[in-house]
Amino acid sequence: MTQVKTAITPTRQENFPEWYQSVVREGQLAENSDVRGCMIILPQGLSLWENIKTYLNLHFKRTNHKNAYFPLLIPKSYLEEEAAHVDGFAKECAVVTHTKLGLNSDGELVPQGKLEEPYIIRPTSETIIGHSFAKWIQSYRDLPVLINQWANVMRWEMRTRIFLRTSEFLWQEGHTAHATREEAVKETKLILDIYSKMASDILALAPFIGSKTEDEKFPGAEITYCLEAMMQDGKALQAGTSHYLGQNFAKAQKIKFVDEQGEHQLAHTTSWGVTTRLIGALIMTHADDNGLIIPPRVAEYHAMIIPIFRNDEEKAAVMKVANELKDSLFEKMFFNNPIAAEIDESALRGGEKFWRAVKKGYPFIIELGPKDIEKNQICLIKRNQENLKDKAFMKIDTFIEMASDELTTMQQDIYQKAVNFRETHTFEMTSKNKFVEFFKKDKKGFISCFAHENLPDEIKSLLKELKVTARCIPLASEEERGTCLFTQKENAKKMIFAKAY
Amino acid sequence: MTQVKTAITPTRQENFPEWYQSVVREGQLAENSDVRGCMIILPQGLSLWENIKTYLNLHFKRTNHKNAYFPLLIPKSYLEEEAAHVDGFAKECAVVTHTKLGLNSDGELVPQGKLEEPYIIRPTSETIIGHSFAKWIQSYRDLPVLINQWANVMRWEMRTRIFLRTSEFLWQEGHTAHATREEAVKETKLILDIYSKMASDILALAPFIGSKTEDEKFPGAEITYCLEAMMQDGKALQAGTSHYLGQNFAKAQKIKFVDEQGEHQLAHTTSWGVTTRLIGALIMTHADDNGLIIPPRVAEYHAMIIPIFRNDEEKAAVMKVANELKDSLFEKMFFNNPIAAEIDESALRGGEKFWRAVKKGYPFIIELGPKDIEKNQICLIKRNQENLKDKAFMKIDTFIEMASDELTTMQQDIYQKAVNFRETHTFEMTSKNKFVEFFKKDKKGFISCFAHENLPDEIKSLLKELKVTARCIPLASEEERGTCLFTQKENAKKMIFAKAY
C-alpha cells in the first residue's frame, strides 16, 4: 500500500493531541500568546464564537433574558462570602494588588499604589451578580430576574490547551432568580434545551444530554444538567452546563423577597454557561486529517472561490465571473444569512490555495478557470466529501439555485456522522471486568451501564486510577433502573462513563 | 407663574451634573458598583451599546476589517517598550502580581503565588496587537492587516462619572498596518467617516468633525481625527478618535516588511476607537427634564404599550388588543429591524407606568383602555413632543401603517434639534477679550475662531486657567485662514475652543 499524504500532520491516529494543535494552527483559529496560558483568538476562530453568540442571544432574548455587564474585578470580600468559591476559585485566580507602575531607584518599572483590599479578576461573576440581585429583589413582583452576561473570565490553569483549557476564556454566564423551586427548575431545563438545540442545530454536535451525579455536579448546585459530547478519540468533552442552585446561593448572598402572603423567602437561583471551549468540541468532532470541517450554519464564509489563470487576460475574465458568482450567492439565503463567499486573490499557486481552503474548512471549495467560464460551469468540492480529489462540474446557474439546499444537506450529513460516531462508540456493558478492560486498553468511546450514585470508596479509587468519571445520567433513559455494574445492587440508574477533557 | 413639575430632579438648569446622574438612574441605564470606579451596565444601557456594536460591525466588515480577540493581560515588558505608554498608562493601571489567594496564619485570605513579572490589565491592546503584527507581517503581500477588537479595558481614574469616565469601560479598538502613508491616512479617514455616520445616523449626535492640534493629539500620532459633540451644558465631549500613527509605533514594535523591490520597510499604522462614553454623549445631547430620549434607531424597544383597566374583564379585553398591536408592529420594519414594543404588565398604576416609560425614553408611549378598544384607537404620546400632556388619538390600523415613517421622522427631528443646538451655541469670535469673557462667565457653547497651533506660553496658561482647550480644526473649514485671535498673526487656522468632559 502506498502512503496517502494528508494536509495535517500528524494524523488523528498517529497523535490526536498534536493533530488537534495542527488543525488549530493551520485553520488559523487561534495562537498562543506571551501571556501565561492565554490565547489570541484569530478572526477565523472568533467568527465561530460570534455565530454561537448570535444564535444564543436570539434564543435568550426570545425567552425574556436580558444582557447586562458587571465589573471585571471582584472584591476579595465577595469571594470570602461563598465557601465554595474560597475552596475552588481562590486557588487559581489573578490577583490585582496595585494601582500603577512606577520607576524604582534602579530605574525599573515596579508595582506601586498598593490597594487596601485586593481584587481578583472574575473567575465567574456569581458573587458580584448575586450582590446586585440582593439589592434589586424585594418583592415577589420583582421576580423572576433573568440576566445573561457575555464576558471574559480568568482562572489560572497549570496545564493549558488552546480553546479547551485556557487561563482567560470567553463565555456567557446566565444568572436567574425565581420565587419557587418549580420555576427555577423549569428555567434550568429551558436553558438546557436551548443549549441542546444550539449544539445539534448549528454546531452539529451529538452530545448526551443528562444530569450530573452527586459527586460530579457543580459545588453548591442541587441539580447540574450538562451536555457531554464525544470527541473522535472517544473522550468526553463537557459542552455546557445549567445548574439549579436551590436556595444555597441565595442564602449566602442574602437574595430575599416578600411573597404574596407577606412572608420573607429566599429566592431559588440558577446559573448556566457555555464557553469558547465549544470551538474545541467543534474541531475534535468534525475535523479530519486534512484539517477543519466547519458545519455551514456556523461558518462565516460558506464558499471559497479559487480563480485559476495563466495570464492577465485570463485573470480579468475569470475574476469577472468569480465576482458575479460571489454576488449571486449573496442574494441567496441559507437560514437567516446570505450565502457568503470569499475569492482567494493571494499570490499563492492554485494547489496551495486549494489546500489552504481545505485546512480552513470552507463548506464549498469552488475552482474556476478559463475552460470553466467558457462552459458556464464551476468545479465544486464539498469539504465533507469522502475523497477530496473527486471534483464535480456543474453549470453555474444550477449551482446557485441548489447552493442553499446543498448546505442544508451538508449540515445534516455532518450532524448525522457525529450521531453515528457516538452511537457506534457507546457500548452497553454489564460486566465490571469488561468495563475495566475497556478503559485499561484505551478503547475508544463511552460506556453506558447501570450504576449507583454513591459508589463504595474502592470503586471510586478504581475509577480514579482508570481516569474515568461518570459523565451523566442521560435524560433519555432517566427512568430506567437496573443492577449496578460495580455493586450488583438493584435500582441503579443508567449512566455514561468516559475519560474526559 | 406656577412651577412646572418635572420627572427628573434637579433639572438641567438647576444642576446639570446631578441631573445627568438622575437620568442615568431613572432610565435604568447603569449603577455604581463596589469596585472602585467601575459601573454595572444594566440591560437598558447595554442594549444601546449592542446597537452601536451591530452598526459598527456591519460597516467594519463591509470595509474588510476582521474581529479578533487578544489577551486581557499585558506583560509589563510590553509596556516598557513604548515610551508613550510608560508616561501615560503606567500611572493608572491595574497591576496583577499574584496567581492565587490563600489563607495566612490568621485565617485571612491573602495574595499568594507571586508572579516573576507582573501583568497589567490592558488599558489598550496597542502593544500586544503590535507584537502580533510584527510576527504576522513579513512581506508587502501580507498588507494591509485590518484588525478590530471589542473588549473591556481598565485605567484607574481618580474621579469617575458613570459612562463618561469609568475605570473599566467597554470599547472597540481598531489597529491596522499598511505599506504606505497614503493608504494608512486613507484608512484613518475611512474610519472617521464610519464614526461620523454612526454618530449622525443612529445616535443623532451633531459633532464637529476635525483634526486635533499638535498639542491635543494622541501621543505618538501624526494625525488624530476626532468627533467633538456639544452637550446641552455647552461643554464638548470627544465621541471618537481615529489616529494615523505614521511609522512611530511600527518602529517601537518592529513591524517591518519587505516591499515589492525587496527593500525592508517599516509599516504605517493606524488605531481608532469608540467607547461606552458614547452613551453619556447620547444622554447629555437628547435627554430633557423628564428623562431619557432615545433616538429610535438605537432603541431596543420602539414603543411601550400601557394597558389601562379597572377589572379582570376589561383587562382581558385590553390585553388581547395590546398583544395584537405588539405583534402587528413586529411585522413592520424600521430600518433593518422589526418594530419592537413592550407591554407594561407590572402592578403599577397607569400614571406611574406612563412616567416610567417617559423617564426610560421610549420613542412611542401608547395608552390603551376599554374606551380605546371600543373605538379601535390608541392614545399616542411621542417622547420627543413639546408637551407630554398632548395626547393624540388615532385608529390602530392607521398607527400601524404609519409607525415606521413616524419613527423615521422622529429620528430626523431629534437629530435636527441637536444640529440646531450646536449651531445656535457656536459663536464666531474675533476678539480675545470677548473670548475670555465668554468662558469666564460660563456662557454655554463653543467658540469658533482663527488661531495658531503653536501659541505662546502666556496664551497656553490663559487657556489652562479658563479650563478651555482647542477641541479640533474642523474639516469643513480646513482650508480657511485668518488672523489669530490671540497673536494677531496671519495664516491661522479655524479652530473650535470649548470646555470639555
User: For residue range B179-216, what is the model confidence (pLDDT) as tens digits?
Assistant: 999 999 999 999 999 999 999 999 999 999 999 999 99
Identify whether the C-beta of residue A373 lies closer than 8 Å to the C-beta of residue A321: yes
The reply to whether B58 falls in a domain is yes
Give the whole-angstrom CA distance, residue B317 versus residue B305: 14
Distance from CA of B465 to the nearest CA of A (A): 29
Q: What is the pLDDT of residue B157?
A: 87
Alpha-helical (H) ranges within B137-197 are 181-197
Kindly state whether A40 is in contact with chain B, defined as any CB-CB distance less than 8 angstroms: yes
CATH number at residue A406: 3.40.50.800
Tell me, yes or no, whether A257 and A312 share the same domain. no
- Residues in chain B with CB shorter than 8 Å from the CB of A78 are 34
Question: How confident is the model at residue B1, as a pLDDT?
Answer: 42
Residue A22 lies in a domain: no
Residue A425: how many CA atoms within 13 Å on its side-chain side?
25
Residue from B269, B290, B266, B238 nearest B175 by CA: B269
B262/B161 same-domain check: yes
Q: What cell numbers appear for A342 in the block?
A: 470569499
Q: Nearest CB to B67: which of A38, A43, A91?
A: A43
Q: What percent of chain B has pLDDT over 70?
A: 99
Cα B17 to Cα B8, B38, B59, B123, B283: the distances in Å are 12, 18, 34, 26, 12
Residue pLDDT, tens place only, B399-451? 999 999 999 999 999 999 999 999 999 999 999 999 999 999 999 999 999 99
List the grid coordinates of B360: 426610560
Q: Are strands B39-41 and B168-178 parallel, antiparallel or unpaired?
A: unpaired
Share of chain A above pLDDT 90, in %: 93
**What mean pLDDT is predicted for residues B286-308?**
98
Does the residue A211 lie in any domain? yes
pLDDT band at A389 (very low <50, low <70, confident <90, very high): very high
| Domain closes at, from A227, A252, A286 | A286
Residues B405 and B357 in one domain: yes
Rg (CA), chain B: 26
Return the exposure string of A432-463: e unless at least 16 CB atoms fall within 10 Å of the residue's CB, then b: beebeebbeeeebbbbbbbbbeebeeebeebb
Asked if A125 contacts A151 with a C-beta cutoff of 8 angstroms, the reply is yes
Nearest to B305 by CA among B330, B268, B287: B330
Task: Supply the pLDDT for residue B2.
Answer: 46
Give me the total of CB pairs closer than 8 Å, taking one residue from chain A and one from chain B.
176
Q: What is the pLDDT, as a whole number, of residue B32?
A: 96
Which residues, in sequence order, are bridge partners of residue B173? B149, B273
CB A271 within 8 A of CB A174: yes
pLDDT, tens digit, 9 for 90 and up, residues A427-485? 999 999 999 999 999 999 999 999 999 899 999 999 999 999 999 999 999 999 999 99
CA–CA gap between residue A102 and residue A109 (Å, rounded): 5
Q: Same domain for B145 and B209?
A: yes
pLDDT higher than threshold 80 for residue A87: no
Residue B98 lies in a domain: no
- Count up the domains in chain A and report the number: 3
C-alpha–C-alpha distance, residues B407 and B429, integer Å? 38
B436 touches chain A (CB under 8 A): no
Asked whether the beta carbons of residue B101 and residue A76 sit closer than 8 angstroms, the reply is yes
A249 and A135 share one domain = yes
Let me know whether B203 and B249 are in one domain: yes
Phi-psi domain of A21 (left: phi exceeds 0; alpha: psi -120 through 50; beta: other): alpha
Give the pairing of strands B236-244 and B223-230: antiparallel
Does residue B344 belong to the interface with chain A, where contact is any CB pair within 8 Å? no
> Residue B4: inside a domain, yes or no?
no
Q: What share of chain B is helix, strand, coil (3-state, %, to 5)?
A: 35, 30, 35
Beta strand extents in A287-415 (DSSP E only): 303-307, 333-334, 337-338, 341-343, 364-368, 377-382, 392-395
Q: Per-residue pLDDT for B81 more than 90?
A: no
Q: Which residues of chain B does A91 touch, with a Cβ-Cβ cutoff of 8 Å?
A: 100-102
User: What is the CATH number for A471?
Assistant: 3.30.110.30
Could you give the CA distance from residue B381 to residue B353 in angstroms, rounded to a whole number?
Answer: 13
What single-letter DSSP state applies at residue A337? E
- Span B1-12, average pLDDT: 79
The answer to whether position B84 is within a domain reads: no
- Predicted confidence at residue A4, as pLDDT, reads 60
pLDDT value at residue A406: 98
In A212-347, where does DSSP find H-type helix?
248-253, 277-286, 312-330
Q: CA B285 to CA B287: how far, in whole Å?
A: 6
pLDDT for residue A82: 75
pLDDT in tens, A285-308: 999 999 999 999 999 999 999 999
Beta bridge partners of B258: B139, B264
| CA separation for the pair B28, B9 (Å, rounded) | 15
In a domain, B111, yes or no: no
Minimal Cα–Cα distance from B352 to chain A, Å?
15
The Cα B336–Cα B323 span in angstroms is 22
Return d(Cα A268, Cα A177) in angstroms, integer: 6
CA angle A124, A125, A131 (to 5 degrees): 145
Which residues 47-86 of A are in CB contact (within 8 Å) with B?
A: 47, 50, 66-76, 78-80, 86
Is there a single domain that holds both residue A273 and residue A326? no
| Residue B347 confidence (pLDDT) | 87
The residue ranking higher by pLDDT, B90 or B50, is B50
pLDDT tens-digit series, residues B84-98: 777 788 889 999 999
Give percent of chain A above pLDDT 70.
99
Q: Are residues B135 and B194 in the same domain?
A: yes
B100 contacts in chain A (CB < 8 Å): 90-93, 95, 156
Q: Is B90 helix (H, G, I), strand (E, B) or coil?
A: helix
The answer on B300 and B171 residing in a single domain is no
CA dihedral sign of residues B214, B219, B225, B230: negative
**Which residues on B lie below 8 Å from A31 (Cβ)?**
132
pLDDT for B158: 84
**Does B258 contact A at CB distance below 8 Å?**
no
Which of A42, A68, A99 lies nearest to residue B40, judging by beta carbons? A68
pLDDT at B452 over 50: yes
Domain of residue B231 covers: 16-75+130-286
Is residue B289 within 8 Å of residue B26, measured between CB atoms? no
Shared domain for B336 and B276, answered yes or no, is: no
Q: Of A286, A308, A343, which closes a domain?
A: A286
Section B332-358 average pLDDT? 94
Q: Is the ipTM beyond the 0.90 threshold?
A: yes
The Cβ of residue B452 has, within 10 Å, a number of other Cβ atoms equal to 18
Look at residue A63 and tell me whether its pLDDT is greater than 90: yes
Nearest CA in chain A to B91: A100
The mean pLDDT value of chain A amounts to 96
Distance CA B9, CA B204 (A): 25
- The CA distance from B459 to B455, in Å, is 6
**pTM of the predicted structure, to 2 decimals:** 0.96
Cα–Cα dist A94/A111, whole Å: 15
Q: Which of A34, A95, A152 sits opposite B101 (nearest CB)?
A: A95
Percent share of chain B, pLDDT over 90:
93
State pLDDT tens for residues A327-346. 999 999 999 899 999 999 99
Residue carrying the nine cell digits 468516559: A498
Let me know whether B145 and B214 are in one domain: yes
Q: Does residue B82 have a pLDDT over 90?
A: no
pLDDT(A2) > 60: no
Alpha helices, H only, B9-75: 16-26, 43-62
Mark whether A315 and A448 lie in a shared domain.
no
Identify the CATH number of the domain in which residue B138 sits: 3.30.930.10
Residue B92 lies in a domain: no
Last residue of a domain, one of A229, A259, A286: A286
3 state SS of A253:
helix
* Core vs surface per residue A43-82: b (16+ CB within 10 A) or e: bbbbbbbbbbbebbbebbeeeebbbbbbbbbbbbebbeeb
Give the model's pLDDT for residue A1.
42
